Amino acid sequence: MHVEQPILQIKNLSKQYGAGCSNCLQPNARLEKNFCPVCKTVFACKDVSIDLYRGEILGIVGESGSGKSTLMKSLYFDEEVTSGEGYLEDFHNGSLNIFTQSGQQKRYIRNALLGMVYQNPMLGLKMSFSSISNIAEKQIAAGSRHVGNMVNRSNELLNQVNIPLKRSKEPPKNFSGGMQQRVQIAKALSSNPPILLLDEVTTGLDLSVQASVLDLIKTIQRELQISMIVVSHDLAVIRMLADRTIVMLNGQIIEQGLTDQILEDPQHAYTQQLVYSLL
Amino acid sequence: MIQIENLQKEFTIHHLNKTLHAVRDISFTVEKGSFLGIVGKSGSGKSTILKSIYGTYIPKSGAIYYDSETLGKINLVTASPREILHLRKYEIGYVSQFLSVMPRTTALELVEQALLETGVSYEKAHEEAIDTLKHFDLDESLWNNYPNYFSGGEKLRLNIARAVVKKPRLLLLDEPTASLDNASKLKVRESIEKLKHQGTTLIGIFHDLEFMDGLCDEVFTMRKAVVNAYEA
């Protein structure tokens, strides 16, 4: 086996809300969880480093406020990082830090090299536009101009995510939660990105709909060999999908490993608590 | 093929402030193509050894050397998760007593997927999956059903089929015959003999000593988290 290069490499990513002070900006800062009691700065992500490999699903678990979603938003440039480096193999062969690129380059990365599925479909879709327009929007942003090609690709994707084509002109606001998530997945895939980011995509859906969305994600991963980062507070979802798993607490990675190892032989006290709480 | 040196595994339960010693100072070697049977009472650490080899458990100390076809001689205790995933995909199989599956995945798809992830064509995966399901006498009416509705024995046969279809170089069997009737056990035995003939190395835990008779080349007996007896 040759030495594998990660398709995405994140080094020491930090995101803080607030300027920080002499209490919290030193190496062994005294914080209340990830919050500085002196200057009220919140350290949402602190020195997070991850590698994602081609074709794998990486799970990220942790309680609310652990920094999972901030990490995803930072990767998708919804949030500006405070510090850290990110390298994508498909962007200048991983030689340039994506976080220090111009707005134009970041838009290119976001539209052509990444796909994002939010927990709340309202963040990822324009609810009053037709589903087919929503999907075409990302293709236009990624550089497509041929209307016929875009329509064909959108229909192909709607078919792939099991949305009846006769409903392609309906806006997502007419759809159920599960269907809205499937339209989001179709949109995220429309520019053939090598990496898909999924942020709590099954939260709030009923069990049978959850199963169909998970099934769809797994099928897409198997057929397209796409790499995915799946954020969830639900360990059952992570067990079902992820090859490797990262556990976050108070903005930091506290444990990582094979998913079955994390679930059956958790090392950290917090991970043990999480696993013992699994129904 | 597998060389285990002074393996120790402890479980630290933080909220109880307690450490459990599961396996202490285990050493043994398994030659290529041979079958090692591990016997012992519940809680003696049999499954812990298999899960440490498979990478599910992190040993406290010791080494597990495995002669990989693609990675060379590798210590599974210090191997990276990506290396373990690679070995699981192409070389090492594991059969437990329990079947965990994706929702809404049929029995046939489950066995096909095991092959598809190794890069074989759909046609070949389909053909071999059907042959394997037939071998384990899984009724044809069940092939396109979801395993959630299967009986314990049917689930177990499907679980074994999923591991065996990939023809692994090393197969770890964690009480795979626990709830099988005699006819099914015979099928498992036939399959194990076939794998042995093809050169697969096997390590298995069985409560059924009769089943192991004549099948294993070596037997370890474990007691109180230590290998107490060795028979060849």
Mutate which of A244, A261, A273, A278 to disrupt the B interface (most B C-beta within 10 Å)? A261
Burial A97-132 (b: 16+ CB within 10 A, else e): ebbebeeeebebbbbbbbbbbbbebeebbeeebbbb
CA distance A154 to A159: 9
| CA distance to partner chain A, nearest, from residue B42 (Å) | 18
Averaged pLDDT, A65-72: 93
Residue B101 phi, psi dihedral angles, 5° rounding: -135, 160
Split into its structural domains, chain A has a count of: 1
Q: Write out the residue range of the structural domain in which residue A223 sits.
A: 8-276
Give residue B186's pLDDT. 82
- Residue A153 contacts by C-beta under 8 Å, 6 or more apart in sequence? A135, A139, A144, A190
Looking at chain B, which runs of residues are DSSP E strands? Answer: 2-13, 18-30, 35-40, 61-68, 72-75, 92-95, 170-174, 201-205, 218-223, 226-231
Q: Look at A243 and B189; give whichever has higher pLDDT.
A: A243
Is A1 domain-assigned? no
Give residue B229's pLDDT. 44
A227, β-bridge pairs: A195
Residue B94 sits at the chain A interface (C-beta within 8 Å): no
Q: Given an 8 Å threshold on Cβ–Cβ distance, is A212 in contact with B83?
A: no
Is A164 domain-assigned? yes
Tell me the pLDDT tens digit for each residue of B58-79. 999 999 999 999 999 999 999 9
Number of Cβ atoms within 10 Å of the Cβ of B80: 14
Mutate which of B11, B104, B116 to disrupt the A interface (most A C-beta within 10 Å)? B104
> Chain A neighbours among B 28-47 (CB < 8 Å)?
none
Nearest to B232 by CA among B222, B221, B214, B219: B219
- Residue B17 contacts by C-beta under 8 Å, 6 or more apart in sequence? none
- Residue B163 contacts by C-beta under 8 Å, 6 or more apart in sequence? B93, B94, B95, B114, B171
Is B140 domain-assigned? no
B7, β-bridge pairs: B26
Give residue B231's pLDDT. 46
Q: Given an 8 Å threshold on Cβ–Cβ distance, is B56 in contact with A243?
A: no
Beta B218-223 vs B201-205: how paired, if at all? unpaired
Split into its structural domains, chain B has a count of: 1
Is A3 domain-assigned? no
Q: Given an 8 Å threshold on Cβ–Cβ distance, is B84 in contact with A273?
A: no
CA distance A49 to A268: 18
CA A109 to chain centre: 14
**What 3-state DSSP class applies to B176?**
coil
Burial A16-50 (b: 16+ CB within 10 A, else e): beeebeeebeeeebebeebbbeeeebbbbbbebeb
ipTM of the complex: 0.89
Q: Which amino acid is at B165?
A: V
Q: Does the structure show a pLDDT above 80 at A278?
A: no
CA distance A272 to B15: 9
Q: Report the percent of chain A where pLDDT is more than 70.
A: 99
Tell me the pLDDT tens digit for each residue of A112-140. 999 999 989 999 999 999 999 999 999 98
Averaged pLDDT, A96-120: 95
Is B133 domain-assigned? no
Q: Report the percent of chain A where pLDDT is more than 90.
A: 65
Is A114 domain-assigned? yes
> Chain B neighbours among A 129-168 (CB < 8 Å)?
none
Q: Given an 8 Å threshold on Cβ–Cβ distance, is A240 in contact with B102?
A: yes
Residue A150 is part of a domain; what is its CATH number?
Answer: 3.40.50.300
CA distance A109 to A96: 12
Residue B193 is part of a domain; what is its CATH number?
Answer: 3.40.50.300
Is B151 domain-assigned? no
Beta A42-52 vs A8-17: how paired, if at all? antiparallel
Is A2 domain-assigned? no
Give residue B211's pLDDT. 79
Using N-to-C axis directions, what is the helix angle for A177-189 and A147-160, rounded to 10°? Answer: 130
Distances in whole angstroms, Cα of residue A99 to Cα of each of A96, A102, A178, A180, A251: 9, 9, 33, 30, 19
Is B138 domain-assigned? no
Residue B214 phi, psi dihedral angles, 5° rounding: 80, -5
Averaged pLDDT, A59-67: 92
Q: Write out the residue range of the structural domain in which residue B6 sits.
A: 2-100+169-231
Is B11 domain-assigned? yes
Q: Given an 8 Å threshold on Cβ–Cβ distance, is A222 in contact with B15?
A: no
Chain A: residue whose CA lies nearest to B51: A261
A181, β-bridge pairs: none
Query: Read out DSSP for A64-76?
Result: TTSSHHHHHHHHT
Lateral strand order in the sheet of A252-258: A114-117, A195-199, A227-231, A57-61, A244-249, A252-258
Is B130 domain-assigned? no
Is B37 domain-assigned? yes
Burial A170-181 (b: 16+ CB within 10 A, else e): bbbeebebbbbb
Nearest to B81 among A215, A258, A264 (CB): A258
Averaged pLDDT, A104-112: 94
Sorting pLDDT into bands at 50, 70 and 90, what band is A4?
confident
Which single residue is written with the structure tokens 């298995």? B204
Is A249 domain-assigned? yes
Which single residue is written with the structure tokens 């903005």? A251
Angle at B108 between CA B105 and CA B110, to 5 degrees: 50
Sorting pLDDT into bands at 50, 70 and 90, what band is B175?
confident
Is B195 domain-assigned? yes
Q: Are the CB atoms for A117 and A199 separated by under 8 Å?
A: yes
Residue B56 sits at the chain A interface (C-beta within 8 Å): yes
Nearest to A214 among B56, B82, B103 (CB): B103
